[in-house]
Structure 1
Amino acid sequence: MDAAADFSLYVRLISGTILGLTIGKLLSGLAKFVQHPAQYRMNILHALWIFFIFVAVSVFWWGEAQTFGSVQWTYPLYLFQIAYCSSYLFMTAVILPDEVSAHDGVETHYDYFISRRRWFFGALIVSHLLDLGNTIIKFGLDDFPITADLLIFNAVLFALLLLAAIVPHKKVQVGVAVTFAALTVLSMLLE
Protein backbone atom coordinates (compact mmCIF):
# COMPACT_ATOMS: atom_id res chain seq x y z
CA MET A 1 0.00 0.00 0.00
CA ASP A 2 1.34 3.47 -0.80
CA ALA A 3 1.55 6.38 1.66
CA ALA A 4 -1.48 8.22 0.18
CA ALA A 5 -3.64 5.12 0.64
CA ASP A 6 -2.33 4.74 4.21
CA PHE A 7 -3.28 8.35 5.01
CA SER A 8 -6.70 7.91 3.45
CA LEU A 9 -7.32 4.74 5.48
CA TYR A 10 -6.14 6.43 8.67
CA VAL A 11 -8.41 9.46 8.13
CA ARG A 12 -11.31 7.10 7.36
CA LEU A 13 -10.70 5.24 10.63
CA ILE A 14 -10.61 8.43 12.70
CA SER A 15 -13.69 9.81 10.92
CA GLY A 16 -15.53 6.52 11.32
CA THR A 17 -14.68 6.39 15.00
CA ILE A 18 -16.04 9.88 15.67
CA LEU A 19 -19.16 9.29 13.57
CA GLY A 20 -19.61 5.87 15.20
CA LEU A 21 -19.52 7.54 18.61
CA THR A 22 -22.15 9.97 17.33
CA ILE A 23 -24.48 7.15 16.24
CA GLY A 24 -23.82 5.34 19.53
CA LYS A 25 -24.68 8.47 21.53
CA LEU A 26 -27.86 8.94 19.49
CA LEU A 27 -28.95 5.35 20.08
CA SER A 28 -28.08 5.34 23.79
CA GLY A 29 -29.86 8.68 24.18
CA LEU A 30 -32.94 7.29 22.46
CA ALA A 31 -32.80 4.21 24.66
CA LYS A 32 -33.12 6.42 27.76
CA PHE A 33 -36.55 7.51 26.53
CA VAL A 34 -37.56 3.84 26.43
CA GLN A 35 -35.78 2.78 29.62
CA HIS A 36 -37.03 5.63 31.82
CA PRO A 37 -40.20 7.06 30.26
CA ALA A 38 -41.24 8.91 33.42
CA GLN A 39 -37.90 10.68 33.71
CA TYR A 40 -37.15 11.10 29.98
CA ARG A 41 -40.16 12.17 27.95
CA MET A 42 -39.72 12.32 24.20
CA ASN A 43 -41.00 15.45 22.51
CA ILE A 44 -41.42 16.31 18.86
CA LEU A 45 -38.48 18.72 18.86
CA HIS A 46 -36.03 16.13 20.14
CA ALA A 47 -37.41 13.46 17.85
CA LEU A 48 -36.92 15.72 14.82
CA TRP A 49 -33.38 16.77 15.73
CA ILE A 50 -32.34 13.21 16.59
CA PHE A 51 -33.75 12.07 13.26
CA PHE A 52 -31.98 14.95 11.48
CA ILE A 53 -28.59 14.16 13.03
CA PHE A 54 -28.92 10.42 12.32
CA VAL A 55 -29.80 10.97 8.65
CA ALA A 56 -27.25 13.79 8.23
CA VAL A 57 -24.48 11.56 9.61
CA SER A 58 -25.50 8.66 7.39
CA VAL A 59 -25.60 10.90 4.27
CA PHE A 60 -22.26 12.47 5.19
CA TRP A 61 -20.64 9.10 5.86
CA TRP A 62 -21.96 7.72 2.56
CA GLY A 63 -20.64 10.71 0.65
CA GLU A 64 -17.28 10.39 2.35
CA ALA A 65 -16.99 6.75 1.31
CA GLN A 66 -17.39 7.84 -2.30
CA THR A 67 -14.89 10.73 -2.20
CA PHE A 68 -12.16 9.83 0.30
CA GLY A 69 -9.76 8.60 -2.34
CA SER A 70 -9.99 11.83 -4.33
CA VAL A 71 -8.40 13.94 -1.57
CA GLN A 72 -4.69 14.57 -1.21
CA TRP A 73 -4.62 14.46 2.60
CA THR A 74 -2.58 17.01 4.51
CA TYR A 75 -2.47 17.72 8.22
CA PRO A 76 -4.77 20.80 7.92
CA LEU A 77 -7.30 18.73 5.94
CA TYR A 78 -7.03 15.98 8.56
CA LEU A 79 -7.83 18.53 11.31
CA PHE A 80 -10.67 19.88 9.17
CA GLN A 81 -12.10 16.36 8.83
CA ILE A 82 -11.88 15.78 12.59
CA ALA A 83 -13.60 19.11 13.26
CA TYR A 84 -16.39 18.33 10.80
CA CYS A 85 -17.05 14.87 12.23
CA SER A 86 -16.80 16.24 15.77
CA SER A 87 -19.48 18.84 15.06
CA TYR A 88 -22.01 16.01 14.77
CA LEU A 89 -20.85 14.43 18.02
CA PHE A 90 -21.02 17.80 19.77
CA MET A 91 -24.58 18.45 18.56
CA THR A 92 -25.58 14.99 19.73
CA ALA A 93 -24.03 15.54 23.15
CA VAL A 94 -25.85 18.87 23.50
CA ILE A 95 -29.24 17.52 22.47
CA LEU A 96 -28.92 14.28 24.50
CA PRO A 97 -27.14 15.10 27.78
CA ASP A 98 -26.34 12.35 30.23
CA GLU A 99 -28.57 13.94 32.85
CA VAL A 100 -31.16 16.68 32.26
CA SER A 101 -32.01 17.47 35.89
CA ALA A 102 -28.42 18.46 36.65
CA HIS A 103 -28.71 21.52 34.40
CA ASP A 104 -29.95 24.74 36.01
CA GLY A 105 -33.07 23.12 37.49
CA VAL A 106 -34.65 22.23 34.14
CA GLU A 107 -37.01 19.29 34.34
CA THR A 108 -37.58 18.13 30.77
CA HIS A 109 -35.48 17.56 27.69
CA TYR A 110 -37.47 20.28 25.94
CA ASP A 111 -36.65 22.84 28.65
CA TYR A 112 -33.02 21.77 28.59
CA PHE A 113 -32.86 22.11 24.80
CA ILE A 114 -34.42 25.58 24.86
CA SER A 115 -31.94 26.68 27.54
CA ARG A 116 -29.01 25.36 25.44
CA ARG A 117 -30.38 26.10 21.97
CA ARG A 118 -27.68 28.66 21.15
CA TRP A 119 -25.00 25.99 21.60
CA PHE A 120 -26.89 23.54 19.41
CA PHE A 121 -27.64 26.00 16.62
CA GLY A 122 -24.15 27.48 16.81
CA ALA A 123 -22.74 23.98 16.31
CA LEU A 124 -25.18 23.39 13.46
CA ILE A 125 -24.08 26.63 11.77
CA VAL A 126 -20.43 25.59 12.15
CA SER A 127 -21.28 22.11 10.81
CA HIS A 128 -23.02 23.61 7.78
CA LEU A 129 -20.04 25.88 7.08
CA LEU A 130 -17.74 22.86 7.39
CA ASP A 131 -20.02 20.99 4.99
CA LEU A 132 -19.59 23.74 2.41
CA GLY A 133 -15.83 23.59 2.93
CA ASN A 134 -15.90 19.80 2.69
CA THR A 135 -17.72 19.99 -0.64
CA ILE A 136 -15.10 22.39 -2.00
CA ILE A 137 -12.27 20.14 -0.72
CA LYS A 138 -13.75 16.98 -2.24
CA PHE A 139 -14.84 18.40 -5.60
CA GLY A 140 -12.66 21.48 -6.01
CA LEU A 141 -13.67 25.09 -6.28
CA ASP A 142 -14.08 24.81 -10.06
CA ASP A 143 -16.78 22.14 -9.69
CA PHE A 144 -18.53 23.84 -6.76
CA PRO A 145 -21.72 25.35 -8.20
CA ILE A 146 -21.69 28.89 -6.79
CA THR A 147 -24.98 30.14 -8.16
CA ALA A 148 -27.51 32.69 -7.01
CA ASP A 149 -29.83 29.81 -6.04
CA LEU A 150 -27.17 28.24 -3.83
CA LEU A 151 -26.36 31.56 -2.17
CA ILE A 152 -30.03 32.31 -1.51
CA PHE A 153 -30.66 28.77 -0.23
CA ASN A 154 -27.75 28.95 2.20
CA ALA A 155 -28.69 32.47 3.32
CA VAL A 156 -32.20 31.21 4.15
CA LEU A 157 -30.76 28.22 6.04
CA PHE A 158 -28.45 30.44 8.09
CA ALA A 159 -31.31 32.87 8.76
CA LEU A 160 -33.49 29.99 10.01
CA LEU A 161 -30.70 28.77 12.29
CA LEU A 162 -30.12 32.26 13.67
CA LEU A 163 -33.87 32.68 14.20
CA ALA A 164 -34.04 29.38 16.10
CA ALA A 165 -31.00 30.36 18.19
CA ILE A 166 -32.66 33.64 19.17
CA VAL A 167 -36.38 32.80 19.42
CA PRO A 168 -37.34 30.14 21.98
CA HIS A 169 -41.00 29.78 20.89
CA LYS A 170 -42.06 26.20 20.27
CA LYS A 171 -43.62 26.86 16.86
CA VAL A 172 -40.40 28.44 15.60
CA GLN A 173 -38.29 25.62 17.05
CA VAL A 174 -40.47 22.87 15.57
CA GLY A 175 -40.75 24.67 12.22
CA VAL A 176 -36.96 24.92 11.87
CA ALA A 177 -36.53 21.28 12.96
CA VAL A 178 -39.14 20.10 10.43
CA THR A 179 -37.43 22.10 7.68
CA PHE A 180 -34.01 20.63 8.41
CA ALA A 181 -35.35 17.08 8.80
CA ALA A 182 -37.16 17.39 5.46
CA LEU A 183 -34.10 18.83 3.69
CA THR A 184 -31.94 16.02 5.06
CA VAL A 185 -34.38 13.38 3.83
CA LEU A 186 -34.38 15.11 0.45
CA SER A 187 -30.57 15.06 0.35
CA MET A 188 -30.67 11.35 1.26
CA LEU A 189 -33.04 10.63 -1.59
CA LEU A 190 -30.88 12.59 -4.03
CA GLU A 191 -27.67 10.75 -3.02
Structure 2
Amino acid sequence: MIAASGRGHTASPGPLPRLPGPRDHSLCPDSRRNHRPRAPRPALALCCRGTVAKPPYRIRRETVMEQFLHIRVLLGIVLGLAITTLLKGLARFVQHPGRERVYWVHIGWALSMFTLLAHFWWWEFRLVHLSQWSFVSFAFLILYVVVLFLLCTLLFPDDIGDYEGWRDYFLSRRGWFFGIMALSYVIDFGDTLIKGKRYFQAFGLEYPLRNLAYVALCLIAMRTRSERFHKGFVVASLLYQLSWIYRLYDFVE
Protein backbone atom coordinates (compact mmCIF):
# COMPACT_ATOMS: atom_id res chain seq x y z
CA MET A 1 0.00 0.00 0.00
CA ILE A 2 1.38 3.35 -1.07
CA ALA A 3 0.54 6.47 0.95
CA ALA A 4 0.44 9.95 -0.72
CA SER A 5 2.40 12.81 0.83
CA GLY A 6 1.19 16.35 1.30
CA ARG A 7 3.17 17.63 -1.72
CA GLY A 8 1.54 15.21 -4.14
CA HIS A 9 4.63 13.03 -4.58
CA THR A 10 4.56 9.29 -4.27
CA ALA A 11 6.71 8.05 -1.36
CA SER A 12 9.36 5.49 -2.20
CA PRO A 13 8.87 2.18 -0.53
CA GLY A 14 11.00 1.58 2.56
CA PRO A 15 13.38 -1.28 2.91
CA LEU A 16 11.62 -4.57 3.26
CA PRO A 17 12.44 -6.67 6.31
CA ARG A 18 14.99 -9.38 5.64
CA LEU A 19 13.71 -12.85 6.27
CA PRO A 20 16.00 -15.19 8.08
CA GLY A 21 17.57 -17.71 5.80
CA PRO A 22 18.65 -21.22 6.67
CA ARG A 23 22.11 -19.97 7.76
CA ASP A 24 21.05 -16.66 9.36
CA HIS A 25 21.73 -16.72 13.09
CA SER A 26 21.00 -13.06 13.85
CA LEU A 27 17.52 -13.72 15.22
CA CYS A 28 18.38 -16.69 17.38
CA PRO A 29 21.59 -16.42 19.41
CA ASP A 30 21.36 -20.03 20.49
CA SER A 31 21.29 -21.19 16.90
CA ARG A 32 24.91 -20.07 16.41
CA ARG A 33 26.07 -22.96 18.49
CA ASN A 34 23.83 -25.40 16.72
CA HIS A 35 24.67 -24.38 13.14
CA ARG A 36 28.43 -23.91 13.26
CA PRO A 37 30.13 -25.46 10.25
CA ARG A 38 31.88 -28.62 11.29
CA ALA A 39 35.63 -28.91 10.81
CA PRO A 40 36.77 -31.92 8.82
CA ARG A 41 37.67 -34.82 11.05
CA PRO A 42 41.24 -36.06 10.93
CA ALA A 43 41.78 -39.60 9.84
CA LEU A 44 41.93 -41.58 13.06
CA ALA A 45 42.81 -45.18 13.54
CA LEU A 46 40.46 -47.23 15.67
CA CYS A 47 41.97 -49.68 18.11
CA CYS A 48 40.64 -53.17 18.53
CA ARG A 49 38.77 -52.21 21.73
CA GLY A 50 37.04 -49.24 20.17
CA THR A 51 39.36 -46.56 21.55
CA VAL A 52 40.62 -43.89 19.19
CA ALA A 53 44.38 -43.84 18.60
CA LYS A 54 46.19 -40.54 18.61
CA PRO A 55 47.13 -39.16 15.19
CA PRO A 56 50.82 -39.32 14.26
CA TYR A 57 51.50 -35.67 15.01
CA ARG A 58 50.47 -36.16 18.64
CA ILE A 59 52.83 -39.02 19.35
CA ARG A 60 55.71 -37.79 21.49
CA ARG A 61 59.08 -38.31 19.88
CA GLU A 62 61.52 -40.38 21.87
CA THR A 63 64.38 -38.50 23.37
CA VAL A 64 67.97 -39.29 22.50
CA MET A 65 68.48 -40.82 25.93
CA GLU A 66 65.58 -43.23 25.43
CA GLN A 67 66.93 -44.24 22.02
CA PHE A 68 70.36 -44.87 23.49
CA LEU A 69 68.95 -47.03 26.29
CA HIS A 70 66.96 -49.02 23.73
CA ILE A 71 70.07 -49.64 21.62
CA ARG A 72 72.21 -50.39 24.65
CA VAL A 73 70.00 -53.35 25.58
CA LEU A 74 71.13 -55.43 22.60
CA LEU A 75 74.74 -54.32 23.04
CA GLY A 76 74.58 -55.47 26.65
CA ILE A 77 73.18 -58.88 25.69
CA VAL A 78 76.00 -59.67 23.24
CA LEU A 79 78.61 -58.20 25.57
CA GLY A 80 77.24 -60.26 28.44
CA LEU A 81 77.61 -63.44 26.36
CA ALA A 82 81.24 -62.55 25.64
CA ILE A 83 82.05 -61.97 29.32
CA THR A 84 80.25 -65.19 30.25
CA THR A 85 82.40 -67.11 27.76
CA LEU A 86 85.58 -65.70 29.30
CA LEU A 87 84.55 -66.35 32.89
CA LYS A 88 83.41 -69.90 32.19
CA GLY A 89 86.65 -70.59 30.36
CA LEU A 90 88.79 -69.26 33.19
CA ALA A 91 86.74 -71.19 35.73
CA ARG A 92 87.69 -74.45 34.02
CA PHE A 93 91.25 -74.12 35.27
CA VAL A 94 90.02 -73.65 38.82
CA GLN A 95 87.52 -76.50 38.66
CA HIS A 96 89.96 -79.01 37.12
CA PRO A 97 93.50 -77.73 37.75
CA GLY A 98 95.21 -81.02 36.88
CA ARG A 99 93.20 -81.92 33.80
CA GLU A 100 94.46 -79.22 31.43
CA ARG A 101 97.83 -77.49 31.47
CA VAL A 102 97.66 -73.71 31.56
CA TYR A 103 99.36 -71.72 28.80
CA TRP A 104 99.98 -68.32 30.33
CA VAL A 105 100.09 -66.45 27.00
CA HIS A 106 96.58 -67.71 26.38
CA ILE A 107 95.52 -66.63 29.89
CA GLY A 108 97.12 -63.23 29.32
CA TRP A 109 95.00 -62.62 26.24
CA ALA A 110 91.90 -63.75 28.14
CA LEU A 111 92.63 -61.12 30.82
CA SER A 112 93.29 -58.56 28.09
CA MET A 113 89.94 -59.33 26.45
CA PHE A 114 88.12 -59.05 29.76
CA THR A 115 89.70 -55.63 30.31
CA LEU A 116 88.75 -54.60 26.77
CA LEU A 117 85.12 -55.64 27.26
CA ALA A 118 84.85 -53.75 30.54
CA HIS A 119 86.45 -50.75 28.88
CA PHE A 120 84.07 -51.00 25.92
CA TRP A 121 81.01 -50.92 28.16
CA TRP A 122 82.49 -47.98 30.08
CA TRP A 123 83.37 -45.76 27.12
CA GLU A 124 80.17 -46.49 25.14
CA PHE A 125 78.31 -44.27 27.62
CA ARG A 126 79.70 -41.43 25.52
CA LEU A 127 77.14 -42.37 22.85
CA VAL A 128 74.43 -40.70 24.93
CA HIS A 129 75.62 -37.38 23.48
CA LEU A 130 74.68 -38.34 19.91
CA SER A 131 72.08 -35.93 18.56
CA GLN A 132 70.59 -38.45 16.13
CA TRP A 133 70.70 -42.21 15.69
CA SER A 134 70.54 -44.11 12.42
CA PHE A 135 70.28 -47.80 11.63
CA VAL A 136 73.75 -47.69 10.06
CA SER A 137 75.27 -46.51 13.36
CA PHE A 138 73.30 -49.14 15.25
CA ALA A 139 74.37 -51.95 12.90
CA PHE A 140 77.98 -50.77 13.09
CA LEU A 141 78.01 -51.03 16.88
CA ILE A 142 76.43 -54.48 16.75
CA LEU A 143 79.15 -55.57 14.33
CA TYR A 144 81.81 -54.29 16.72
CA VAL A 145 80.37 -56.22 19.68
CA VAL A 146 79.98 -59.39 17.60
CA VAL A 147 83.68 -59.18 16.64
CA LEU A 148 84.61 -58.95 20.33
CA PHE A 149 82.37 -61.93 21.07
CA LEU A 150 84.10 -63.99 18.36
CA LEU A 151 87.48 -63.23 19.96
CA CYS A 152 86.22 -64.59 23.26
CA THR A 153 84.85 -67.77 21.68
CA LEU A 154 88.18 -68.34 19.93
CA LEU A 155 89.98 -68.12 23.25
CA PHE A 156 87.70 -70.68 24.91
CA PRO A 157 86.13 -73.17 22.50
CA ASP A 158 83.78 -75.89 23.65
CA ASP A 159 86.33 -78.65 23.11
CA ILE A 160 90.09 -78.83 22.46
CA GLY A 161 90.26 -82.62 22.19
CA ASP A 162 91.82 -82.36 18.72
CA TYR A 163 94.83 -80.48 20.14
CA GLU A 164 97.61 -81.43 22.52
CA GLY A 165 96.78 -78.64 24.93
CA TRP A 166 96.06 -74.96 25.23
CA ARG A 167 99.44 -73.98 23.83
CA ASP A 168 98.94 -76.09 20.74
CA TYR A 169 95.39 -74.81 20.33
CA PHE A 170 96.32 -71.14 20.69
CA LEU A 171 99.21 -71.28 18.26
CA SER A 172 97.11 -73.25 15.78
CA ARG A 173 94.25 -70.73 15.92
CA ARG A 174 96.47 -67.64 16.11
CA GLY A 175 95.72 -66.68 12.49
CA TRP A 176 92.00 -66.37 13.19
CA PHE A 177 92.43 -64.79 16.60
CA PHE A 178 94.89 -62.07 15.62
CA GLY A 179 93.20 -61.50 12.27
CA ILE A 180 89.89 -60.71 13.97
CA MET A 181 91.71 -58.62 16.57
CA ALA A 182 93.29 -56.53 13.81
CA LEU A 183 89.82 -56.06 12.34
CA SER A 184 88.50 -54.87 15.70
CA TYR A 185 91.06 -52.05 15.83
CA VAL A 186 90.08 -50.97 12.32
CA ILE A 187 86.42 -50.95 13.36
CA ASP A 188 87.39 -48.94 16.43
CA PHE A 189 88.19 -45.98 14.18
CA GLY A 190 84.58 -45.91 13.03
CA ASP A 191 83.26 -46.34 16.55
CA THR A 192 85.22 -43.29 17.68
CA LEU A 193 84.05 -41.23 14.69
CA ILE A 194 80.42 -42.01 15.56
CA LYS A 195 80.89 -40.03 18.77
CA GLY A 196 81.90 -36.97 16.76
CA LYS A 197 84.95 -35.49 15.03
CA ARG A 198 85.80 -33.36 18.04
CA TYR A 199 85.86 -36.48 20.18
CA PHE A 200 88.14 -38.20 17.65
CA GLN A 201 90.52 -35.24 17.46
CA ALA A 202 90.68 -34.91 21.25
CA PHE A 203 92.92 -38.01 21.42
CA GLY A 204 95.61 -36.35 19.33
CA LEU A 205 98.14 -38.38 17.40
CA GLU A 206 98.45 -41.17 19.95
CA TYR A 207 95.11 -42.75 19.11
CA PRO A 208 95.65 -43.44 15.37
CA LEU A 209 99.24 -44.52 16.00
CA ARG A 210 98.04 -46.87 18.74
CA ASN A 211 95.48 -48.57 16.51
CA LEU A 212 97.84 -48.82 13.55
CA ALA A 213 100.54 -50.31 15.80
CA TYR A 214 98.08 -52.92 17.08
CA VAL A 215 97.07 -53.83 13.53
CA ALA A 216 100.72 -54.23 12.49
CA LEU A 217 101.59 -56.34 15.54
CA CYS A 218 98.53 -58.53 15.00
CA LEU A 219 99.60 -59.17 11.40
CA ILE A 220 103.03 -60.23 12.65
CA ALA A 221 101.48 -62.46 15.33
CA MET A 222 99.43 -64.20 12.64
CA ARG A 223 102.62 -65.34 10.89
CA THR A 224 105.07 -66.13 13.66
CA ARG A 225 105.17 -68.90 16.29
CA SER A 226 107.95 -67.23 18.26
CA GLU A 227 107.36 -67.65 21.99
CA ARG A 228 109.38 -64.56 22.74
CA PHE A 229 107.27 -62.40 20.46
CA HIS A 230 103.93 -63.69 21.76
CA LYS A 231 104.96 -63.31 25.38
CA GLY A 232 106.21 -59.78 24.83
CA PHE A 233 103.12 -58.85 22.81
CA VAL A 234 100.58 -59.94 25.42
CA VAL A 235 102.46 -58.33 28.33
CA ALA A 236 102.99 -55.03 26.50
CA SER A 237 99.39 -55.01 25.26
CA LEU A 238 97.91 -55.56 28.72
CA LEU A 239 100.11 -52.94 30.40
CA TYR A 240 99.47 -50.34 27.69
CA GLN A 241 95.75 -51.06 27.77
CA LEU A 242 95.58 -50.39 31.51
CA SER A 243 97.62 -47.22 31.06
CA TRP A 244 95.36 -46.04 28.23
CA ILE A 245 92.23 -46.53 30.32
CA TYR A 246 93.67 -44.82 33.38
CA ARG A 247 94.99 -41.80 31.48
CA LEU A 248 92.03 -41.12 29.20
CA TYR A 249 88.96 -42.91 30.53
CA ASP A 250 89.21 -42.68 34.30
CA PHE A 251 86.07 -40.51 34.34
CA VAL A 252 83.20 -40.38 31.84
CA GLU A 253 81.85 -36.94 30.97
Pair in the same fold by TM > 0.5: yes
Identity value in percent: 31
- Rounded Cα–Cα distance in structure 2 between residues aligned with 1:152 and 1:64: 21
Please list the CA deviations of residues 67-98 of structure 1 after superposition, one character each: whole Å capped at 9, or x if unmatched. Answer: 12122221111111111111111000001111
- Rounded Cα–Cα distance in structure 1 between residues aligned with 2:102 and 2:116: 20
Which of residues 60, 66, 70 is equivalent to 2:129?
70
Question: 2:181 maps to which residue?
Answer: 124
Stretches of structure 2 lacking an aligned partner (at least 5 in a row): 1-59
Max radius of gyration: which structure?
2
Which of residues 140, 147, 155 is equivalent to 1:80?
140
Q: Is the 8 A contact 1:84 1:130 kept in 2?
A: yes
Please list the CA deviations of residues 121-155 of structure 1 after superposition, one character each: whole Å capped at 9, or x if unmatched. Answer: 111111111112111111x2244238655444433
Q: Give secondary structure in 2 for the equivalent of 1:98.
A: coil
More helix by share: 1
Q: How far did 1:158 drift?
A: 1.8
**Are 2:193 and 1:136 equivalent residues in the alignment?**
yes
Greater shift, 38-47 or 128-137, is seen at 38-47
- Rounded Cα–Cα distance in structure 2 between residues aligned with 1:68 and 1:141: 13
Question: 1:23 maps to which residue?
Answer: 83
Question: 1:183 maps to which residue?
Answer: 240
Q: How far did 1:40 drift?
A: 2.5
Question: 2:68 maps to which residue?
Answer: 8
Q: Is the 8 A contact 1:161 1:176 kept in 2?
A: no
Q: Which has the higher contact order (CA 8 A, sep 6+)?
A: 1
Please list the CA deviations of residues 162-182 of structure 1 after superposition, one character each: whole Å capped at 9, or x if unmatched. Answer: 111110111111111112111
Q: Is the 8 A contact 1:45 1:177 kept in 2?
A: yes
- Rounded Cα–Cα distance in structure 1 between residues aligned with 2:74 and 2:108: 27
- Rounded Cα–Cα distance in structure 1 between residues aligned with 2:193 and 2:173: 31
Q: Give secondary structure in 2 for the equivalent of 1:40.
A: coil
**How many aligned residue pairs are there?**
186
Q: Give secondary structure in 1 for the equivalent of 2:212.
A: helix
**Are 2:117 and 1:50 equivalent residues in the alignment?**
no
**Are 2:227 and 1:170 equivalent residues in the alignment?**
yes
- Rounded Cα–Cα distance in structure 1 between residues aligned with 2:69 and 2:151: 26
Q: How far did 1:38 drift?
A: 2.7
- Rounded Cα–Cα distance in structure 2 between residues aligned with 1:24 and 1:92: 9
TM-score for the superposition, normalised by structure 1:
0.89
Stretches of structure 1 lacking an aligned partner (at least 5 in a row): none
- Rounded Cα–Cα distance in structure 2 between residues aligned with 1:150 and 1:53: 19
Q: Is the 8 A contact 1:41 1:109 kept in 2?
A: yes
Q: Is the 8 A contact 1:55 1:188 kept in 2?
A: no
Q: Give secondary structure in 2 for the equivalent of 1:144.
A: helix
Q: How far did 1:42 drift?
A: 1.9
TM-score for the superposition, normalised by structure 2:
0.68
